[in-house]
Amino acid sequence: MTSLDHRQAGEDTPESVDLMVLPVIQGSVPETFEAPSTDIPASLAQISDISYRPEQFPGSGEIKDLVEQILSSEGVPMEIAALVWIESNFSVGCYSRMGAAGPWQFMPTTGRELGLEINDTVDERYSWVASTRAAARYLRHLYSIFDDWSLAIAAYNCGPGRVQAGLRQGGNTFGEIELPGETDAFVPRFASAAEAYVQVELDAGRLAVIWVPGDFDLRLLAVETGMNIDHLMELNRSYLLERTPSEKDAWEVVVPIEYAGEAFNAAWSMDPRRYLVREGDSWEGIAAALGVSAQVLMGMNPAGSLQPGTYIAIPESQREPVNAGYAENPQFVRYTVRMGDTLSEIAATVGASSREVAQWNEMSPDEPIFPGDVLLLRRTGVSGGTIEPEAPALPTENEINIVSGGGRITHTVVEGDTLWDLAMRYGVSIEQIMYLNSLENSFLSLGEVLVIIPE
């Protein structure tokens, strides 16, 4: 969990800043666990289809330092941070058509399984602290299974079940076992990125993690402490409305370390939702500091008075949330391509053209689609109206659980194969296999090629 409910222990708000200002939130590393360097052979980097170079590193020094501290606190090698380079190019707002989001590119289901909060007000996949901690613990778990970082990285990409299946078929190391083509490329890429990552040297401002109350507007914290509001919001993109949710007593917030003590004290002593007027304040100055329109601010406070010592209401943030273009945006629905689907037929279900669907998904209208691909579709038609009731219902992940932890593979049916056997072998549901391949019954034909997305 990434909250601190000190009130449940019958305590008042902690008085000691030292107890609440954390350069890195403490991990739960077993005493017997050490964090060695990865044992991935350097030769793997030489066969990578992408060559990573230290001078091309896209991240900032302060984020690199924060990620490394969290990995270290969790007992994971520093160069594991190279995964973020591969997955998201160190972009906190990265999202994919498949529905993965954040620096570590977690799917919603995976994120929740790892303890991340994901809802309409907070999505911790976009939290550098919470998502990195979750990734570290998951990777540490994978390493405990395979005792080999090459295999742990492979399992991170295609799922531990697929790696274990490869080991059962023969071989003991990566390169000796059969894995999906995507994973065969992914591990060498990691080796190349890790090799470059350890050579990166950047000047880094230090960051701290503090606790702030629930239902707290982070813009007020920036104004109160003089922090750059854009910098503070960029460090805390997981709070989609720029305030902490009210469901818990306290939440983690990342701040520059030089502001940590002042920010913590201010957060626990000031009004969490209203601005306290000061001598010399103006509507334009307050609006600029909060990043809102002066007209909107004045409209919320019709009395029109800026009496020092009084409070004024502030409007909701007008910034675009980090997930505005993501598949869970309510304007969109995710559609999983089935056998026989065409782009034009899929587009017709929402009253759109194939060109529009291609534009929504950043692809060419002529680009082929395959069973298991996930497309974003707008819930509105070309005219802006809502989908008519008679339009075919779009399947969602709530209607059928499409497992998408690994890459798409094909399976050629051989004598003795049944849907039950295949579901058990690949760690998926019978319903998924039938859905992706448009099967109307459980009958399989010898030589039939099935599309499967293994766990």
User: pLDDT tens across 46-73, in order?
Assistant: 999 999 999 999 999 999 999 999 999 9
Residue 293 has pLDDT above 80, yes or no: yes
Answer positive or negative: Cα dihedral of 156, 161, 184, 109: negative
Mean pLDDT, the chain, integer: 81
**250-287 pLDDT, tens per residue?**
999 999 999 999 999 999 999 999 999 999 999 999 99
pLDDT tens digit sequence for 74-94: 999 999 999 999 999 999 988
User: Is 306 or 396 the better-scoring residue by pLDDT?
Assistant: 306
Q: Which two tokens stand for residue 177?
A: 């076992």
What does the alpha-carbon distance between residue 204 and residue 300 come to, in Å, rounded to a whole number? Answer: 41
- Residue 231 exposure: Cα atoms within 13 Å on the Cβ side: 15
For residue 288, pLDDT beyond 50? yes
pLDDT tens figures, 389-433:
233 333 343 333 333 334 567 788 887 788 877 876 776 777 778
Residue 357 class from Cβ within 10 Å (0-12 exposed, 13-18 middle, 19+ buried)? buried
Place 382 in a pLDDT band, splitting at 50, 70 and 90: very low
Q: List, for residues 157-169, the tens digit of each pLDDT value.
A: 888 888 998 999 8
Q: Specify the CATH number of the domain 400-455.
A: 3.10.350.10
Average pLDDT over residues 356-364: 76
Count other C-beta atoms under 10 Å from residue 15's C-beta: 10
Predicted confidence at residue 30, as pLDDT, reads 44
C-alpha pair distances (Å), 48 with each of 42, 194, 348, 405: 11, 12, 41, 22
Domain extents in the chain? 24-197, 274-313, 330-398, 400-455
Tokens 């950043």 map to which residue?
362
Runs of H (alpha helix) within 269-314: 283-290, 294-300
Look at domain 274-313 and name its CATH class: alpha beta
Q: What separation, in Å, do the N-terminal and C-terminal C-alpha atoms of the chain show?
A: 25
pLDDT of residue 257: 94
Domain covering 24-197 in this structure, CATH number: 1.10.530.10
What amino acid is encoded at 91 in this protein? S
- On whether the CB atoms of residues 329 and 323 are closer than 8 A, the answer is yes
C-alpha to C-alpha distance for 321 and 241, rounded to whole angstroms: 7
Residue type for 12, please? D
Q: What distance in Å separates the CA atoms of residue 264 and residue 250, rounded to the nearest whole number?
A: 11
Give percent of the chain above pLDDT 70. Answer: 81
Equal fold, 24-197 vs 330-398:
no
What does the radius of gyration of the chain's CA atoms come to, in whole angstroms? Answer: 25
Task: Please state which CATH class domain 330-398 belongs to.
Answer: alpha beta
Q: Which residue has the higher pLDDT, 405 or 445?
A: 445
